Structure 1
Amino acid sequence: MSTLKQGLLLDPKITQKVFSGIEHGSLNKINALVIHQTGANTAQQTFNSYAKGGHGAHFLIDKQGVIYQTARVTQKAYHVGKIKSKCYESKSCTKVQLQNATQLLFQKGLSYSSRITNLHNHEKSKPYPDRFPLNSDSLGIEIVGSYDKLKKQYEAISPLQNSSLKWLVSELYTHFQITTADVYRHPEVSYKMATEASSAQW
């Protein structure tokens, strides 16, 4: 079993390659995991991006199934983006919640971007799990996989990658109070291409 020390998940299966530029302050509570795909062909392309700072995730799984830790689990990473309304997406809103969500989503006179921002701000005030996870309470796991712009399709995740993902997620279960209900594909929670991480298995 892996050990957790100073934000690092230590195990022979994990290669430490932390980029301080993608760490953005203390992550005090971990409620969920968000699974992503990079849109890049290689891990190195993602590392080059991470080296510039800004957006990133806590772990990256390359095409050979090698797991890299790229940010400490005690630090926030910008990986989620603006969140959707959980009750609206799952069709579980109360009448008032539905009214609020639709009013924000379809407000006349505002750009799409402004409406999404307003809904995000409304949602983030809710406690988890009444909302989707945010950067402030989740870990991000990236899986290397290219994106075909013409087909609007992400590359299929390989058996080696899925095997590593299953192992990593199960290890994180042991260190944090999360279950399978707390693991999300990126497009579930935010406004991303539907095929991202669609073939991920955990």
Structure 2
Amino acid sequence: MHQTGATTSSSTFNSYSKGGHGAHFLIDKKGTIYQTAHVSKKCYHVGKIRSKCYQSKLCAKADIKAITNLLFAKGKSYGVRIKDVHNLEKAKSYPDRYPLNIDSLGIEIVGSYDVKTKSYETINMLQNKSLTWLVGELLTHFTLTKVDVYRHPEVSYKMESEAKSATW
């Protein structure tokens, strides 16, 4: 679950046309759902993933040690440390790791980002109603449950407020 950082769906469509990023679905402020990519297409929306076992505190001791060493490695930049964790995690299978671009669907919800407050706009009732319907449909077509649905900052290193007010 993502939030666009834009105020309109058209500005999001424009960013998709530039390539390199995107999601499978977009929900505008009126609650209209657009399918922007076929569900079998890989879209680039996840980013570098966090360690699922580390976040949930369910790692084996060896995993905790390895991930801690990567996260707090001296002499490495934050970006390199995140990439190292991502590379360790992507060798695992889902659901032992968070979803990657290759095995996930992205849903964008139109909502602006305020740089001063470092927060995303509250998702409105129409958007949440559409989101609930869309997630329900996707759950019936794929072998998934609500446990398999994540907000972007849960999975990767994004702003904590992204899609915080999303409900499904």
Corresponding residue to 2:127 among 140, 146, 161: 161
Three-state SS of the structure 2 residue aligned to 1:38 is strand
State the match for 2:39 in structure 1. 73
Counterparts of 2:94 and 2:18 in 1: how far apart (Å)?
31
TM-score normalised by L of structure 1? 0.82
State the match for 2:90 in structure 1. 124
Identity %, equivalent residues? 68
Is 1:56 aligned to residue 34 of structure 2? no
Is 1:135 aligned to residue 101 of structure 2? yes
> C-alpha deviations, 1:15-68, integer Å up to 9, x for none?
xxxxxxxxxxxxxxxxxxxx0000000000001111111100000000000000
Corresponding residue to 2:59 among 93, 100, 107: 93
Is 1:108 aligned to residue 74 of structure 2? yes
Residue type matched to 1:150 in 2? K
Higher strand share: 1
Matched length: 168
Deviation at 1:87, TM superposition (A): 0.9
Q: Which blocks of at least 5 consecutive residues in structure 2 are unaligned?
A: none
Counterparts of 1:154 and 1:109 in 2: how far apart (Å)?
33
Q: Where do 4+ consecutive residues of structure 1 move more than 3 Å?
A: none
Q: Which moved more, 1:72-81 or 1:48-57?
A: 48-57
TM-score normalised by L of structure 2? 0.99
Counterparts of 1:168 and 1:110 in 2: how far apart (Å)?
41
> Aligned runs of 1:19-34 on 2, under 5 Å?
none
State the match for 1:84 in structure 2. 50
Residue type matched to 1:36 in 2? H
Three-state SS of the structure 1 residue aligned to 2:40 is coil
Counterparts of 2:17 and 2:5 in 1: how far apart (Å)?
17
Deviation at 1:108, TM superposition (A): 1.2
Counterparts of 1:175 and 1:125 in 2: how far apart (Å)?
26
